[in-house]
């Protein structure tokens, strides 16, 4: 189902798998109100803002994330809470200016986003990728998470006002700067309150990834060589995985010749895929979805992860296989669908996708593909 949302939200609401909620204007969540985005549901801010005095809850699961995307989140109230469990935060800006509230991320993905810390911040078992995490002077507890091509910024502040950031069993993996200790404030009583414990950084010299850490700035809890281990923290044999989202060993900086042979030949294949969704799943009729991203991760001959992304949500292929027929991969008919063509019109058994588009026309190809798939009375199987 598709919904629109704008204005002041005074009643709690819950959205479930397949629901897409788009903002048509700025939204304010009233105090005491809970908006819950369930597994497989998407809250698309559509370029607008959410001002939260209540609770915004992302409640996904291991095979289906709850998604928050495309706008600005803030809170002017200490009661405002953004709580994400198996949530996917993408192209999101969390604005801390004059904002308090709490930010709790567990088993979550933060992709292409800027996250400014609120008054209370807890990050566990999560992945930041190509994002910014600006702690300012706020307190934060970060445990067993990975920051991939992500910069963490911490300000120095007077002990009385400043918070304390602790990173424990965390991967910092970046081609450039991983930790930026900002020199914005200065003075003999101004310090950075940051501690790094049993973590990993992808450099023999940690200082090469940390701005001015041991030179001019004051650090109350110093960052030392012993703060870092020599190997990344992994959650599976294949790398660091949250739900169906995997950062491979090679992305973590582990050379192929230094890992167990069972994981050294890790291969990730990405396809642009179209699938037919069986009738009764998204609508009362079968639906063709095009330009989906299919990701297959193999370790040797074994498939360790197989997902399809739709509206920013990754679905485990094994969980949805009985509900779909994969029709094309990278503009080539699949063997399964080629058999459907052969059963429907044997004279076209070997026709390619490009030949079919030329013969039928780009405006008609989708409806014809549905017709062929359903000719035997079943769109799937």
Out of 200, 229, 258, pick the residue that ends a domain. 229
Question: Are 25 and 47 a contacting pair, CB within 8 Å?
Answer: no
Residue 145 and residue 46 share a domain: yes
Q: Are residues 220 and 288 in the same domain?
A: no
Residue 215 pLDDT: 52
- pLDDT, average across residues 122-136: 95
Do 54 and 129 fall into the same domain? yes
Winning range, highest mean pLDDT, from 4-13, 302-311, 313-322, 323-332: 4-13
Residue 369 within a domain: yes
Same domain, 222 and 278: no
**Can you give the CATH number for the domain in which 122 is found?**
2.160.20
In a domain, 127, yes or no: yes
Kindly state whether residues 186 and 310 are assigned to the same domain: no
- The reply to whether 211 and 304 lie within a common domain is no
- How many domains does the chain fold into? 2
Question: Do residues 309 and 196 share a domain?
Answer: no
**Last-in-domain residue among 206, 229, 252:** 229
277 and 210 in a single domain? The answer is no
Both 214 and 280 in one domain: the answer is: no
- Are the CB atoms for 228 and 178 separated by under 8 Å? no
pLDDT of res. 161: 66
Cα angle value 129/132/135 (rounded, 5°): 130
Q: Is the pLDDT of residue 217 over 70?
A: no
Token pair in block for residue 191: 């310090």
Q: What is the pLDDT of residues 247-276, one digit of tens each?
A: 988 899 876 444 444 444 567 788 889 999
| % residues pLDDT > 90 (the chain) | 53
Assess if residue 379 is contained within a domain.
no
Contacts for 30 with CB less than 8 Å, ≥ 6 apart: 8, 9, 10, 53, 54
Sign of the alpha-carbon dihedral angle for 153, 157, 160, 166: positive
Q: Quick check: is 259 in a domain?
A: no
> Would you say residue 246 lies in a domain?
no
Domain membership of residue 368 (yes or no) is yes
Statement to judge: residues 79 and 213 lie in one domain: yes
Is residue 117 very low, low, confident or very high in pLDDT (cuts 50, 70, 90)?
very high
pTM, whole model, 2 decimals?
Answer: 0.67
Q: How confident is the model at residue 188 (pLDDT cuts 50, 70, 90)?
A: low
Query: Does some domain include residue 242?
Result: no
Is the same domain home to 205 and 82?
Answer: yes
Domain end residue (candidates: 180, 204, 229): 229
Q: What does the alpha-carbon distance between residue 46 and residue 313 come to, in Å, rounded to a whole number? A: 16
Q: What is the pLDDT of residue 265?
A: 54
Same domain, 129 and 206: yes
Give the pair of three-digit tokens for residue 321: 């296989």
Range of the domain at 205: 2-229
Say yes or no to pLDDT of 173 above 80. Answer: yes
Mean pLDDT, the chain, whole residue set: 87
């Amino acid at each position: 189902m598709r919904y629109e949302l704008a204005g002041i939200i005074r009643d709690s609401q819950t959205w479930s798998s397949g629901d897409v909620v788009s903002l048509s204007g700025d939204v304010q969540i009233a105090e005491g109100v809970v908006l819950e985005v369930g597994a497989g549901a998407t809250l698309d801010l559509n370029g607008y803002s959410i001002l939260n005095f209540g609770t915004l809850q992302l409640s996904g699961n291991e095979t289906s994330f709850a998604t928050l995307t495309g706008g600005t989140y803030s809170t002017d109230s200490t009661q405002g809470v953004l709580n994400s469990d198996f949530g996917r935060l993408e192209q999101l800006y969390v604005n801390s200016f004059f904002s308090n509230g709490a930010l709790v991320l567990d088993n979550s993905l933060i992709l292409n986003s800027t996250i400014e810390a609120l008054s209370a911040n807890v990050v566990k078992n999560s992945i930041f990728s190509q994002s910014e995490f600006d702690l300012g002077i706020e307190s934060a507890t970060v445990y067993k998470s990975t920051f991939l091509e992500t910069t963490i910024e911490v300000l120095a502040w007077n002990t009385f006002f400043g918070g304390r950031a602790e990173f424990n069993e965390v991967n910092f993996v970046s081609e450039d700067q991983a930790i930026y200790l900002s020199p914005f404030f200065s003075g003999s009583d101004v310090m950075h309150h940051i501690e790094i414990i049993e973590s990993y950084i992808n450099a023999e010299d940690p200082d090469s990834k940390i701005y001015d850490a041991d030179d001019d700035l004051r650090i109350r809890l110093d960052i030392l060589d012993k703060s870092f281990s020599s190997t990344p923290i992994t959650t599976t044999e294949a790398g660091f995985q949250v739900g169906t989202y995997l950062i491979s060993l090679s992305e973590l900086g582990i050379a192929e010749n230094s890992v167990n042979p069972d994981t050294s030949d890790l291969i990730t294949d990405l396809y642009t895929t179209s699938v037919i969704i069986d009738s009764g799943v998204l609508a009362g009729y079968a639906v063709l979805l095009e330009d989906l991203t299919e990701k297959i991760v193999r370790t040797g001959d074994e498939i360790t992860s197989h997902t399809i992304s739709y509206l920013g949500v990754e679905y485990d292929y094994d969980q949805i296989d009985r509900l779909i027929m994969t029709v094309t991969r990278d503009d080539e008919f699949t063997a399964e669908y080629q058999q459907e063509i052969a059963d429907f019109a044997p004279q076209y058994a070997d026709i390619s996708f490009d030949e079919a588009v030329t013969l039928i026309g780009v405006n008609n190809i989708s409806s014809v593909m549905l017709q062929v798939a359903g000719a035997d009375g079943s769109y799937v199987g």
